[in-house]
Amino acid sequence: MKALRRVPLLALLALTSCGIPATGVVQAGGPASGTLPQTPVYFVEKNGALFATPRTTELPGDPEAALRLLMTGPQEGEGHLGGLFTEVPGLPTSAALPTATGGAPGKPSSDTPTVTLDGNAMTIRLPPGMDTLSDTGVRQMICTAAAAYRLTRPSVDAVTAEVTDGAGRRIRGSDEGCPAR
């Protein structure tokens, strides 16, 4: 009977001492890859409605990076029939863009919008010279910046924004009327 009790103990010892040494963390390259992070960028369809199109970014959750992507304009073929346009002026050639693959994004120039966050409220300040933004252009900026912000804060209620254009005109809004992404 004693011999039968020893069999499980011997089997357990044999299994735990299989000769494989314990190791710590092994560094073996970068993180797993697959799809790159994306942020919704809002452009305008031919009928005047806003349409969210996904753009690759290394800075998901960063409203300033999303606004720089917005200012690059729609790419050929984006949207339902490739007929998207924007009412937001483009980036000056001196402004740095967030990179889509490899390398660190460049430091944005003073010619791009800046975003200040305070809880669920954001202030978007446009650079001098961007002082004739249409109501649709303002909606594009609010929806794009708020959608980027929500990527890292999905449970946030409405995001409010105040857009100050280059001439000092202030326009308030929220992302409550933005189309679903």
pTM exceeding 0.85:
no
Q: Tens digits of per-residue pLDDT, 44-79?
A: 998 899 999 999 998 999 999 999 999 999 988 776
Those residues whose C-beta lies under 8 Å from the C-beta of residue 113, and which sit 6 or more positions away, are 64, 67, 68, 71, 124, 125, 126, 127, 130, 141
What per-residue confidence (pLDDT) applies to 129?
A: 80
User: How far is Cα 104 from Cα 106, in angstroms, rounded to an integer?
Assistant: 6
Q: Tens digits of per-residue pLDDT, 127-169?
A: 888 877 899 999 999 999 999 999 988 887 889 999 998 888 8
